[in-house]
């Protein structure tokens, strides 16, 4: 189990070790980032203890042999069971299934344009009819971001040595491509966010596109000037403002809805950019959160900071 | 039965993928592969969910030329649910990967049994 | 309609907002915000409870302008209001009593993140209790999973991170199965809101159509939530998780998070499947058998354990077995017993975890039994709180444990004859085993150590813990003595689901 990875030279040997979980391919590519943990000195233990440890090790490896068989049996059983279930379910692509004939879809499509003002019915559904789900969803992203901060946020001393190793430095092709593509990507992302209620798109997809663009820039230029725009401080302020405005706007809208009051946001003319009530501001807020969080994940995974 | 399964083959593929992902998440010893299994499982759920909304011969639920007949568009609800689900899955994956990274940095292995063994040894050293 | 029906919405949004704001605040301010939020939530839900008791039916609260089956909704009934008030109270007391050991064990620059996570726990518990929509339930189950993993892994030593990855894996398997079950139900009915789902499912069941997919969906949802709450064969993560976390986290994880999932399961059983379908298909028998097995296995494992935190964790597995046994017994008395047991466990287990944490802190952070000898003399109040919690777990009169065991006895007589004898036997065995391992611990705690020189932790050096401990004891006695009126509330509220 404990072979030194440096002795292996064939690619398949590496692959096999990675498969067993002992060895990380990326590490070999970059050289030793972390020195391997020194072997435990079993000599210090008394004989009985040493033997116990080894017995325990053997016992675990016995179960390791069983895992593939158990996995195959369990997977086969589950597949069989679920296939039988599926064979009794409504068929695919038909218009007469319970899902597609329910009253829900009729109102969403028939009255969606009138009630939400969104040409894109999906945007109307997730940001107006079922807006509470979406409120939860953006907070899932926030929760995950905080969890990742807890685990991977590093103090400033460690970051400098790691930074240079993990970033492709001075790669001409990457840099030129990024320079050309970045404005287009950001423009496209902004378009997708702002026209989320008018066509395919919305806060999540647009935010993910912008986040991808920021990651590309960060890869090519080793963060560069981006660090001045998006750092820990600005990240927190953007996310704070976006989530706060989201929660407060939606709370107001829920409150009005539940108490039978009219909101001050009207549906406007369907098809116009400033229409569909709250959908545009909510999409913008979600887009900001998603873009920053995507970039934040990348940055914190590679450098331990934003 | 074969005919029924063939007619809803997308559901069958989703179900098979779900079982594969589930078993990988449960029984594979490699933490990275567990994360891959998790993603396969989630994606299978979303495939299943999306295919529920599809109706042969209809278009995406974006109102064109003011036509608001329900017979023209597919079901918009599954698409919205999948959108929610994808974000959940991204978040969970990020947290799982960062946990994996922390364990790897400390124990230099991705095998969960090996990590378990080393943690056990550490605890015995402490005591 | 009283203004108080708006409180759940305000409290949920306030929890989300304060979690976002807390990520920017310093530690002390974040703690004060969190405590204020939980106190507000307790007061708000209590007011709502008092109002809802005067009504005859539940209140459907629209989240937006559209009623079910189109838009999201909350459903408010007295049982839910009572449970969210008490959950908020427990969260308040856990943070109040556990923040000293907490702040010793977390890196200083990350302490405010702890309160971010507990605020999210509060939000997700409120939603799980109040929601009227299965998919919203799924989204907030995931928030609950991530935030509970957050309060677990924030300790950042190897053992905790391993425990949290195992916890995450089990939780994700559970939520994956739950999601698939929800998708199956959606496929069969085309609805996601509970009242419409119940209506369509009843119609489907009566017509006999889609019988197997319906059964599959129900079992996937039950198994998913059972895995997440730690029912017997899936309880293996519990000991590591509760044993490795910081005490306040163990208290929240065992006392609230698993209870939130179980409450949601009960709600799904009653207001989605409906009593009739669920109990006609024999699914409750599976939960009954697993619950009874969990009681015995958990108690035996607790008896064998020599680490006191892990012992209490295994005891949690046994207590969760009780809840599932109650669900399996019957839809009326059994369900009341299960709900009361949720409350008993939520009030007792955090008190035990906090007491053990303070005992172990006074005795130089030891965890093994033999090192805790005489610890009750070093910290008399924590010793007393532990003893009282142990009495409640064993089920002595005037405590909540007594009432819940009494209700389980009633439930056994209420259910079928085949379940009567096994239930009583399991109750007897578990009471004996409980007595054995708690008596062993209490005797060890009050056994004078050999050396007489020890540092005594007085009441005033741990003011906030003493306050929390007294509150836990007081609530326990209150519900133990005045249980009758609360059981009447449960009995009146159950048909409203």
E strand or H helix that includes residue A271: none
Q: Which of C20, C72, C142 sits opposite A243 (nearest CB)?
A: C20
A16 has a pLDDT exceeding 60? yes
Task: Supply φ then ψ for residue C338, to 5 degrees.
Answer: -65, -45
pLDDT at A43: 44
Kindly indicate the confidence band of residue A31, based on its pLDDT and cuts at 50, 70 and 90: very low
Comparing C-alpha atoms, which of C305, C259, C240 is closest to residue C438? C305
Rounded alpha-carbon distances, angstroms, from residue A135 to A13, A246, A285: 48, 8, 11
What is the SS3 assignment for B111?
strand
Q: Residue C448's CB: how many other CB atoms inside 10 A? A: 11
Q: How confident is residue C446, by pLDDT bands cut at 50, 70 and 90?
A: confident
Q: H/E/C letters for each residue in A22-65?
A: CCCHHHHHHCCCCCCCCCCCHHHCCHHHHHHHHHHHHHHHHHHH
What is the C-alpha separation between A299 and A225, in angstroms, rounded? 14
What's the pLDDT band for A49 if we cut at 50, 70, 90? low
Between the CA atoms of C275, C279, C285 and C288, what dihedral angle is there, to the nearest 10 degrees?
Answer: 20
Nearest to C490 by CA among C419, C407, C424: C407
Distances (CA, A) of B17 to B43, B44, B90, B125, C321: 8, 6, 18, 43, 32
Cβ pair B91:A143 closer than 8 A: yes
What pLDDT is recorded for position C345? 92
Interface test with C, best of A63, A98, A124, A132 (most C CBs within 10 A): A132
Rounded mean pLDDT, A185-192: 93
For the cut 80, the answer to whether the pLDDT of residue C52 exceeds it is yes
User: What does the alpha-carbon distance between residue C26 and residue C13 come to, in Å, rounded to a whole number?
Assistant: 21
Which pLDDT does position A5 carry in this prediction?
A: 47
- The stretch C475-486 carries a mean pLDDT of 91
DSSP string, A197-239: TTSS--HHHHHHHHHHHHHHHHHHHTSTTHHHHSSHHHHHHHH
What is d(CA C283, CA C406) in angstroms, rounded to the nearest whole number?
25
Q: A34-48, A53-67, C234-248: which range is least confident on average?
A: A34-48
What is the share, in percent, of chain C residues with pLDDT greater than 90?
49
- Asked if C149's CB is within 8 angstroms of B81's CB, the reply is no
Whether the upstream peptide bond of residue C33 has omega within 30° of 0, thus cis, is no
**Closest Cβ opposite residue B19 in set A75, A145, A301:** A75
Residue A83: CB atoms within 10 A of its CB come to 16
**Maximum mean pLDDT: which of A66-75, A275-284, C228-237, C476-485:** C476-485
> Could you give the CA distance from residue C3 to residue C22 in angstroms, rounded to a whole number?
28
Contacts of A97 in chain C (CB under 8 A): 187, 190
SS3 A259: coil
The pLDDT of residue B86 is above 70: yes
Please answer whether residues C258 and C320 qualify as being in contact, where contact means their C-beta atoms are separated by less than 8 angstroms.
Answer: yes
> Tens digits of per-residue pLDDT, C239-279?
888 888 888 899 999 889 999 999 999 999 999 998 888 88
What's the burial of C420, exposed, middle or buried (CB within 10 Å: 0-12/13-18/19+)?
middle
Indicate the pTM of the whole model. 0.91
Give the pLDDT of residue A2: 44
Q: Nearest residue on chain C to A246, judged by CA atoms?
A: C17
Q: DSSP character for A261?
A: P
Mean pLDDT of chain C: 89
Q: Are C272 and C131 in contact (CB under 8 A)?
A: no
Tell whether the model's pLDDT for residue B14 goes beyond 80. Answer: yes
Write out the E strands in C105-182: none
Over residues C73-92, the mean pLDDT reads 92
For residue A265, the chain C residues in CB contact (below 8 A) are none
Q: Is the pLDDT of residue A57 over 60?
A: no
Compute φ and ψ for C344, nearest 5 degrees. -55, -50
Integer Cα distance of C14 and C20 in angstroms: 10
Q: How many CB pairs under 8 A join A and C?
A: 165
| Out of C153, C176, C187, closest to residue B41 by CB | C176
Per-residue model confidence as pLDDT tens digits over C389-408: 999 998 888 899 999 999 99
Least confident of C206-210, C282-286, C404-408, C444-448: C444-448
Q: What per-residue confidence (pLDDT) applies to C237?
A: 84
Q: Do C65 and A257 touch (CB under 8 A)?
A: yes
At B28-54, the pLDDT tens digits run 888 999 999 999 999 999 999 998 888
Mind listing the pLDDT tens digit for each residue in C367-383?
A: 777 778 888 888 888 89
Contact A81 C191 (CB under 8 A): no
- The rounded distance, in Å, linking the Cα atoms of A177 and A221 is 11
| Ramachandran class of C64: left when φ > 0, alpha when ψ lies in -120 to 50, beta otherwise | left
**Of all residues in chain B, what percent carry a pLDDT higher than 90?**
38
DSSP string, C83-121: HHHHHHHHHHHHHHHHHHHHHHHS-GGGHHHHHHHHHHH
**pLDDT band at residue C217, thresholds of 50, 70 and 90?**
very high
User: What would the mean pLDDT of A96-122 be, rounded to a whole number?
Assistant: 82
Q: What is the pLDDT of residue C365?
A: 74
Q: What is the predicted pLDDT for the residue at A207?
A: 93
Helices (H), C253-307: 258-268, 275-280, 283-304
- The per-residue pLDDT for C451 is 64
Strand-pairing partners, residue C74, are C61, C131
| ipTM for the complex shown | 0.95
Averaged pLDDT, C59-74: 86
Q: Hey, is A3 helix, strand or coil?
A: coil
Question: Whole-angstrom Cα distance, residue C160 to residue C310?
Answer: 13
C117 token code pair: 């996570």
Report chain B residues whose CB lies below 8 A from the CB of A290.
87
Report all structural domains of chain B as residue ranges with CATH numbers, in order of start: 2-126 (1.10.287.3510)
Q: Do the Cβ atoms of B49 and C186 come within 8 Å?
A: yes
- Residues in CB range of A31: below 8 A, 6 or more apart: A165
- Across chain A, what does the average pLDDT equal? 77
Q: How far apart are CA C337 and CA C355, in angstroms?
A: 26
Return the minimum-mean-pLDDT range out of A151-155, A187-191, C42-46, C438-442.
A151-155
User: A51-65, B27-41, C296-310 — which is least confidently predicted?
Assistant: A51-65
The 3 state secondary structure assigned to A151-190 is HHCCCHHHHHHHHHHHCCCCCHHHHHHHHHHHHHHHHHHH
The residue ranges of every structural domain in chain A are 1-34, 40-84, 99-303
pLDDT at position C452, please?
A: 57
Cβ–Cβ under 8 Å, residues C403 and C340: yes
SS in 3 state form for B30-86? EHHHHHHHHHHHHHHHHHHHHHHHCECCCECCECCCCCCCCCCECCHHHHHHHHHHH
pLDDT higher than 50, residue B78: yes
Please name the residues in contact with A177: beta carbons below 8 A apart, sequence gap of 6 or more.
Answer: A220
Using a CB–CB cut-off of 8 Å, the residues of C that contact B are 135, 138-139, 142, 145-146, 149, 153, 156, 158-159, 161-162, 164-165, 168-169, 172-173, 176-177, 179-180, 183, 186-187, 192, 368
- Give the pLDDT confidence of C329-357 residue by residue, as tens digits: 888 888 999 999 999 999 999 999 999 88
Report angle CA A194, A281, A245 to the nearest 5 degrees.
145
| Residue C222 pLDDT exceeds 50 | yes
- Give the CA count within 13 Å in the CB-facing half-sphere of C197: 28
Flag whether residue C203 sits within 8 Å of chain A, measured between CB atoms.
no
Q: A215 and chain B: CB distance < 8 Å anywhere? A: no
Mean pLDDT to the nearest integer, A98-121: 82
Would you state the pLDDT for residue A33? 44
Chains with 3+ CB–CB pairs under 8 A to A are B, C
Tokens standing for C142? Answer: 């995931």
Q: How far is CA C267 from CA A304, C133, C256, in A?
A: 42, 11, 16
* Residue labelled with tokens 């310093």: C26
Residues A179-196: b if buried by 16+ CB within 10 A, e if exposed? eeebeebbebbbebbbbb
Q: What percent of chain B has pLDDT over 70?
A: 100
> What mean pLDDT is predicted for residues C98-108?
81
Give the one of B26, B41, B99 whose C-beta lies nearest to C161's C-beta: B99
Q: For residues A99 and B75, give the distance between their C-alpha atoms in angstroms, rounded to a whole number.
A: 8
**pLDDT computed for residue A178 by the predictor:** 87
Q: Cβ separation of C176 and B22 shorter than 8 Å?
A: yes
Whether pLDDT at C323 is above 90 = yes
What pLDDT score was predicted for residue A6? Answer: 46
User: Closest by alpha carbon to A278, among A150, A135, A73, A163?
Assistant: A135
Residue A292 scores a pLDDT above 80: yes
Residue A13 or C494, more confident: C494
Q: Are C463 and C96 in contact (CB under 8 A)?
A: no
Assess whether pLDDT exceeds 80 at residue C225.
yes
Q: Do B103 and C162 touch (CB under 8 A)?
A: yes
Residues of chain C found within 8 Å of residue B90, distances taken between Cβ atoms: none
DSSP B110: -
Which chains are within 8 Å of C by 3+ CB pairs? A, B
Interchain contact, B103 vs C165, CB within 8 Å: yes
Q: What angle do CA A152, A154, A160 make, to 5 degrees?
A: 120
pLDDT of residue C218: 92
Rounded Cα distance, B83 and A202, in Å: 10
Q: Quote the mean pLDDT of chain B.
A: 88
Q: How many whole angstroms separate alpha carbon A150 and alpha carbon C164? A: 13
The DSSP annotation for C316-339 comes to HHHHHHHHHHHHHH-TTHHHHHHH
């Amino acid at each position: 189990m404990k072979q030194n990875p440096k002795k292996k030279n064939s690619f398949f040997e590496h692959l096999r070790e990675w498969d067993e979980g002992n060895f990380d391919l990326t590490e070999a590519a970059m050289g030793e980032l972390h020195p391997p943990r020194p072997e435990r000195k079993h000599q210090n233990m008394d004989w009985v203890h040493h033997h116990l440890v080894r017995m325990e090790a053997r016992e675990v490896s016995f179960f390791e042999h069983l895992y593939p068989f158990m996995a195959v049996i369990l997977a086969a059983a589950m597949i069989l069971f679920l296939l039988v279930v599926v064979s009794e379910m409504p068929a695919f692509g038909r218009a007469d299934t319970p899902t597609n004939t329910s009253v829900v879809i009729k109102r969403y499509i028939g009255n969606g344009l009138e009630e939400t003002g969104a040409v894109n019915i999906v945007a109307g559904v997730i940001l107006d009819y079922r807006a509470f789900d979406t409120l939860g969803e953006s907070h899932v992203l926030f929760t995950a971001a905080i969890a990742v901060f807890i685990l991977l946020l590093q103090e400033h001393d460690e970051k400098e040595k790691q930074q240079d190793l993990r970033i492709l430095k001075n790669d001409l092709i990457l840099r030129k491509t990024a320079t050309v593509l970045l404005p287009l990507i950001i423009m496209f992302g902004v378009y997708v966010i702002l026209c989320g209620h008018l066509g395919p798109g919305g806060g999540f997809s647009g935010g993910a596109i912008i986040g991808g663009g920021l990651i590309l820039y960060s890869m090519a230029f080793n963060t560069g000037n981006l660090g001045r725009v998006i750092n820990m401080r600005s990240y927190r302020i953007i996310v704070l403002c976006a989530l706060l405005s989201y929660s407060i706007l939606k709370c107001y809208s829920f409150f009005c809805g539940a108490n039978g009051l009219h909101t001050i946001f009207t549906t406007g003319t369907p098809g116009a950019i400033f229409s569909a009530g709250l959908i545009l501001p909510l999409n913008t807020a979600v887009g900001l959160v998603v873009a920053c969080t995507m970039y934040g994940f990348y940055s914190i995974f590679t450098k331990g900071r934003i | 039965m074969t005919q029924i399964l063939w007619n809803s083959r997308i559901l069958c593929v989703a179900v098979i993928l779900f079982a594969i992902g589930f078993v990988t998440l449960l029984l594979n010893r490699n933490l990275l592969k567990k994360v891959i299994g998790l993603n396969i499982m989630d994606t299978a759920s979303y495939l299943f969910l999306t295919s529920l909304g599809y109706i042969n011969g209809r278009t995406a639920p974006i109102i064109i030329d003011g036509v608001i007949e329900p017979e023209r568009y597919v079901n918009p609800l599954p698409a919205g649910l999948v959108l929610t689900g994808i974000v959940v899955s991204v978040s969970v994956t990020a947290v799982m990967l960062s946990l994996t990274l922390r364990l790897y940095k400390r124990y230099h292995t991705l095998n969960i049994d090996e990590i378990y063994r080393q943690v056990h040894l550490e605890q015995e050293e402490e005591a | 309609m009283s203004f108080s029906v708006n409180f759940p919405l305000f409290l949920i949004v306030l929890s989300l907002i304060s979690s976002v704001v807390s990520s920017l605040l310093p530690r002390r301010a974040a703690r004060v915000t969190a405590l204020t939020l939980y106190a507000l939530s307790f007061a708000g839900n209590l007011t709502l409870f008092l109002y809802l008791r005067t009504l005859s039916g539940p209140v459907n609260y629209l989240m937006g302008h559209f009623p079910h089956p189109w838009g999201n909704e909350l459903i408010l009934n007295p049982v839910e209001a009572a449970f969210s008030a008490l959950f908020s109270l427990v969260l308040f007391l856990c943070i109040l009593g556990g923040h000293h050991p907490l702040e010793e064990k977390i890196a200083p620059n990350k302490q405010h993140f702890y309160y971010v996570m507990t605020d999210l726990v509060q939000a997700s518990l409120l939603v799980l209790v109040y929601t009227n929509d299965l998919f919203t339930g799924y989204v907030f189950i995931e928030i609950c999973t991530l935030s509970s993993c957050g309060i677990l892994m924030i300790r950042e030593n190897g053992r905790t991170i391993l425990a949290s990855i195992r916890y995450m894996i089990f939780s994700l398997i559970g939520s994956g199965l739950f999601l698939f079950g929800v998708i199956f139900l959606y496929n069969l009915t085309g609805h996601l809101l509970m009242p419409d789902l119940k209506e369509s499912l009843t119609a489907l069941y009566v017509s006999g159509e889609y019988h197997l997919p319906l059964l599959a969906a129900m079992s996937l949802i039950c198994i998913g939530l059972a895995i997440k709450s730690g029912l017997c064969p899936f309880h293996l993560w519990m000991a590591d998780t509760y044993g490795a976390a910081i005490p306040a986290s163990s208290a929240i994880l065992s006392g609230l998070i698993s209870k939130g999932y179980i409450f949601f399961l009960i709600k799904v059983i009653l207001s989605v499947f409906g009593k009739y379908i669920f109990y006609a298909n024999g699914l409750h028998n599976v939960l009954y058998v697993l619950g009874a097995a969990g009681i015995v296995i958990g108690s035996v494992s607790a008896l064998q354990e020599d680490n006191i935190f892990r012992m209490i964790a295994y005891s949690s597995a046994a207590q969760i077995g009780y809840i599932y046994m109650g669900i399996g017994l019957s839809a009326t008395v059994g369900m009341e017993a299960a709900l009361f047991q949720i409350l008993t466990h939520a009030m007792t287990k955090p008190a035990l975890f906090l007491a053990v944490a303070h005992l172990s802190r006074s005795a130089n952070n030891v965890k093994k039994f033999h090192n805790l000898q005489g610890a009750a003399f070093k910290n008399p109040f924590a010793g007393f709180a532990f003893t009282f919690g142990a009495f409640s777990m064993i089920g002595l009169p005037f405590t909540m444990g007594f009432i819940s065991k009494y209700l389980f006895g009633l439930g056994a007589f209420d259910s079928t004859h085949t379940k009567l004898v096994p239930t009583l036997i399991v109750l007897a065995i578990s009471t004996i085993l409980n007595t054995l391992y708690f008596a062993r611990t209490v005797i060890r705690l009050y056994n004078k150590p050999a050396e007489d020189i020890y540092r005594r932790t007085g009441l005033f050096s741990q003011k906030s813990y003493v306050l929390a401990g007294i509150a836990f004891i007081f609530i326990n006695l209150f519900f133990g003595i005045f249980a009758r009126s609360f059981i009447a509330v449960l009995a009146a509220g159950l048909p409203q689901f």
